[in-house]
Each structure stands twice: as structure tokens, then as C-alpha cells.
Structure 1
Amino acid sequence: MRLSFKIPILLGAVASLSACQYDVLAPSGWVAAEQRDLLVISTLLMLIVIIPVIFMAIWFPLRYRADRPDLSDYAPTWAHSTRLEYVLWGVPIIIVAILGVYTYIYTHRLDPYRPLDAAEIGTEIGEPIEVDVVSLDWKWLFIYPEQGVASVNELAVPAGRPINLRLTSSTVMTTFSVPALGGMIYTMAGMETKLHLIADEEGTYFGQAAHYSGPGFSEMHFDTLAMSDADFDQWVEKARASNDELSREAYLELEVPTMANEVQYYSGVDDGLFDRIRGLCVDEGKICMDQMMMQDEMGGGGLEGIADKHKYQYDDQRAIDGFGNPIGVPATPSAPAHGGHADGETLSMNSHEGAAHDGH
């Protein structure tokens, strides 16, 4: 009866796992392959300890159980074995040392900010392609500064050419991940991160947000299309044929929280748009993060700057509830007619608070 009850559960577990994709163990890019190798090496090294421990955890209770027929090996006064101490301390130390060496080598080799080196990869690679990435609620924006086009929820790259990614976020922190190509990097508002990848072969690879970022997180994924140079040129021409252009106004419309967005193309992109997105100053009249920090360093705007508080605020205009709906914009108080030292301190604190909130 018990066995018949367990069989459906086991079959259900196998069926659910059959749909899983183990891209980490079946990489399609040099970075992912290196990460796979480190994972395998680390696992094998740790198994040197884990397997004997599991074996001894089973064998010792059976071998030295109280009701065993032969008790002649009972040694209640036993206290020390030099050989055993060498094994118990020496083997883990050696394993940790080897693991440390491999981790050091791979950590520097796979530094996400480090451009890919053809000599290290061991094969001939083409010219790098630059892509600017913006994580929005809840979609991905990819800007191609060299081609002057952009796309939503579709990343197209030439296979065999390094991909130099600059990343930022419009609101909350999340994580950019294409498991088959390797690498994972955070995107954060007001900051820029970098990631370097390469697709060894043509194909379509799943990309996702790997860090919870709100109610639309589960649908915040995209396809990475690795293609030949000729096919990539055709993809660029298809994007240039779009009737939409990514101006600052169009970006602000795109920035509004939405879920399950379809793929969209933009035939043109405003100059410096990514830098404005990173600086949280796409809106007309907003103070960019670098300017805000410089003004804070100079002591703030004083009492006269209180009326310009809205130029430094960012999060309030983008506040949402648990379902992704905008909450609304609080009224901005007007500058007081008089004040003292405390008001000046408040303005300085507001400026710092804006910088902290904008960076999440």
C-alpha cells in the first residue's frame, strides 16, 4: 500500500524535472564553460571529503554497534592516533588550499568587468559589440549605441564576437542573467555595472531577471538571439524599419510599470539616453546623480534650493503598490518664507536622502 502511494509522487517529480534546463552544465559560451569547469572542480574536490564521511557515517554504527558478536576490539582507553590526525587535518587543509588556488584563478579570469581576451579563449574572435542594458518594471531594454537601434525583451548578438554590456536599472535592483552564456550581474538605479560575454555558437538562449523585483518578476525574461554577422545585420535593419524612436519622452512612457511585454523595436535612440537613465535625469529639469553629488559636496543649495526639491526627487514619482499600479505623486511643499539653521540642515539631508534613494 505504501509503495503504491509513493509511485505517483515519484513519477510526478520525474515529470516536473524533465522540463528543467540545465544550461549551467551545458554551456554555449566561453564564460559559462569556465564557470562550469570551476563548479565541477569544486564539487569533485569536496566529494573527496563528503564520500568518506557518508561512508563512515553508515559503516561505523554498523561495525561498532553494541550488540555485535565480537567485542574484542573494544578499547575504552584509546585516546590518540597520529596517523588519523594527519588524515583528518591534512586532507581538508590540502583540499581547501587547492580549492583556494582554483577559486583565485577563476575569479580573476572571469571578472565581469574584464574584457574577454582572444588569447585566453584560445580561438579567433570577432570585433566586440557594445550593448547598453536597462532593467525596467518588468521588462528589459537593450540599446545598441553603435547601430543606433534598441529593442525590448530581445537581445540580438553576433555569435563568436565578445558582447560588452553596460547595465543599469530604472528603479529597483535586479539581476541580469543568461545562464547558457554565463555570468550574472546586478543592475542598480543610479549606478553602472559591466558584464562581458560571448556566444560560441548560433542559437536562442533564455535570459531572465534572477533577483525578485516586484509583482511582474516572473515574466521579466527575454530571448538572446545569437546569429551570424549577416543575420545580425538583417536584424538591425529590421529594427531600423520600426516606426518608433526611443526619445526621452518615449522612454518615460516605456518606463511605466507593465507586465508580459511583447518584443518591441526602436529605429533610433536619443544621444546620451543611457547616461541620462543611469543618472536618473531623463525627465526634463531633473538633476543628474553626478550633479547632485557635486552639489552635496559643495554644501547643498541652502534655503533658496528648497523650492527646487522636486528636481532631486525620483522614487516618489515611481512609487507602486503590491500589484504594480502607480500610487501617485505627493505634493511638493513650497519654500518657506523664513527659516534658520535647521532648515539648511534639512535641505542638505534631503539632497543626501535623494541620492541614497535614487541609488536604492
Structure 2
Amino acid sequence: MNKLVCTKWRAFALLCVVPFMTSGCGERILVLNPAGPVAQVEQRLIYLTIVLVLIVVVPVIILLAVIVSRYRDKPDNKAPYTPEWSESKVLEIVWWGIPIVIIGIIGTLTVRDTFRLVKPATAASPLTIQVTSLDWKWLFQYPDQKIATVNYCEIPTNRPVQFVLASDAPINSFWVPQLGGQEYTMPGMAMRLWLQADKPGVYFGHGANFSGKGYAHMSFNVIATSSSGFDAWTKKVRSTAPPLTKTGYKNLTTKQAVMGKQEFSSYPPGMFESDIRMNGGMYMKKPITKGTD
């Protein structure tokens, strides 16, 4: 019996230790390495939630060990035998009251931070990027710069970016962990998400919703650079990349294939809006300064 109990506790200890041992095998957890104001607020909320949850989890694990050790069937067990005991008002208040208070705190702070992130705190004019999730690739259109890219986008630092998200394929979810939370992309709908990068870098992005066998390859990079670097990049794309024609766009949307990065010097006007209407939706331009959907 003792050998069996020891084996179980060793297995439990191993399960607890393995995540910490393997966490150093790759890069730092991206969601805990924020590079913008949205991700920073979310990181604080994550840390706070972890601490509050541990207030419940740690005592429960300790009590589990104490109860198993004290009340298991063993010779000369000195634990009191109280077959008539059925309840304790004090214990019930503790194990119901503490979680209720914790949930109330987490819920209140989550609502507060959610409304804080509806619009950016800065008055700088946002850069708009229209994003379409496809099988199995991402199309980025810049309505002000009149250029488009596939599987990567470039943004200026210290400037809010309004991503207008849609899909011409199954529902997906746009997520750049170091810049902020995720938002769904759906056919016929224009969802909005604002993000901002405070420092130059290449930030990993991925679809966070399973969408078929090519889903694992639906990754993209968000390249943050200075304002002058962003302007130079847009000029380079306009002067060197080929245009995206209606036929080329049809090939992107109808062909289920994984592809690499691509750039386009121009695209048919109103392509993003017409795609939403074609999927049964209505596209309404909504400035980021008035909030998000």
C-alpha cells in the first residue's frame, strides 16, 4: 500500500515539474512578453488572475496531501473517527466565500480593462489594415497606401493600428500574442481590433481557430519599424511588386494551398468591401477613435 501511494505521489510531482523543466526549451512565452499597450494591460490581468487562482489551488493541493496522509487506511491511524459529522458552517463559508470574492475581483477588473481597450489612449491617427483570412493564408490590404501583402504585414511603431478583420474561408481568429488579444474573422462581417507596437521587432502571428488541414501553416509576421522605415517600405512595394488583379485575388480565395510571403503594388478598389457584401454582410467604415465592434 505504501509503495503504491509513493508511486502516485512521484507521478503527481513529475506532472507538476515537467512544465517548468520544458519551458526553457524554446523562446519565452510570447503572451507574457508584451510589446504594446494592449498586451501590457492583458499581461497584468493574466498575472493577477494567476495569483488569485493560486490562493485557491495551493491550499487545495496542500489539503489533498494532508487528508491522504492523515485519513488513509493504515495501521494505528490516530485520526479521530467521527461517523456522525456531516457539515461545518465555517468551512462552507470559507470554501464558497473565497472563490466568490476572487471571481468578483477578476470579473470586475476584466470588465474594466476590456472597456479601457475599446479605443487607444493616444490621439495619433490610426493606420488601417484590412485583413482577410483565406485557406490557408492571410491577405493584408492597406486602403490608404493602396498596397497589399500575403502572410506578413508591416506597421509603424508608436502608432495605433486598426485591423479590420473578415474571412473569405471558414471562421478563423487573428492573434498576435505580443501585441494583444485575438479577434475572430468571419465571412460577411467586419470585426475591428486595434493594436500597437511600442518597439521595433518581428512579432509572430497565427490563426487561433482550427480551419482545416492547412491550419498549422496559417502563421504570419507583423513587422514593426519606424515611421520613416514604414514609408520607405510602402514606396518600395509600390515600385517593385506586381499588382493584384481580380483574377489573382480569385486564385488566392479559391485555391486551398499554403504559400509564402507575397507583395502587391496595387489591388482593385473596394475589393475588401465587395467581398464582405458578397458573403451576405454590410461593410460600414467606423473610425477607431469611436470604439470597436
Q: TM-score w.r.t. structure 1 length?
A: 0.67
Q: 2:245 corresponds to which residue?
A: 247
SS at match of 1:150: strand
Q: Give the 3 Å change call, closer, same or farther, for CA 212–229 of structure 1 in structure 2.
A: same
List alignment gaps of at least 5 residues for structure 2. 1-13, 283-293
Match of 2:95 among 64, 80, 88: 88
Correspondence for 1:159 among 152, 157, 160: 157
Q: Kindly indicate which of the two structures has a greater share of residues assigned to strand.
A: 2
Q: Is the 8 A contact 1:170 1:280 kept in 2?
A: no
Q: Which SS does the other structure have where 1:196 is aligned?
A: strand
Whether the aligned pair in 2 keeps the contact of 1:220 and 1:259 (CA below 8 Å) is no
CA distance in 2, matches of 1:100, 1:80: 30
Question: 2:50 matched to 1:46?
Answer: no
**Residues 151, 266 of structure 1: 8 Å contact kept:** yes
State the percentage of identical aligned residues.
36
Shift, 1:14, TM fit:
5.5
Match of 2:44 among 15, 31, 37: 37
CA distance in structure 2 between the partners assigned to 1:61 and 1:84 by the alignment: 19
Provide the secondary structure at the position in 2 that maps to 1:155: strand
Matches within 5 A, 1:194-213: 194-213=192-211
> Could you say which structure has the larger radius of gyration?
1
Where does residue 57 of structure 1 map in the other structure? 64
Q: Does 1:18 align with 2:25?
A: yes
Deviates more, 1:186-195 or 1:78-87: 78-87
Q: Following superposition of structure 1 onto structure 2, how do residues 281-296 of structure 1 map, counting pairs within 5 Å?
A: 289=281
Instruction: Give the Cα separation in 1 of the matches to 2:87 and 2:161.
Output: 58
Partner of 1:132: 130
Residue 177 of structure 1 aligns with which residue?
175
**Larger relative contact order (Cα-Cα within 8 Å, sequence gap ≥ 6):** 2
Amino acid of the residue matched to residue 271 of structure 2? L
- How far apart, CA to CA, are the structure 1 residues paired with 2:257 and 2:247? 20
Alpha-carbon distance in structure 2 between the residues aligned to 1:71 and 1:180:
54
CA distance 1:49–1:271, shift in 2 (3 Å): same
* Structure 1, unpaired ranges of 5+: 1-6, 119-124, 282-287, 291-360
Structure 2 CA distance for aligned equivalents of residues 128 and 66 of structure 1: 67
- Deviations 1:253-276, CA, capped at 9 Å, x for gaps: 332325332222111222211101
Specify the code of the residue in structure 2 equivalent to 1:203: G
RMSD across aligned C-alpha pairs, in angstroms? 2.9
Alpha-carbon shift at residue 189 of structure 1 (Å): 1.3
Match of residue 109 from structure 2? 102
Q: Assess, with a 3 A threshold, how the Cα gap between structure 1 residues 259 and 61 changes in structure 2: closer, same or farther.
A: same
SS of the residue corresponding to residue 32 of structure 2 reads coil
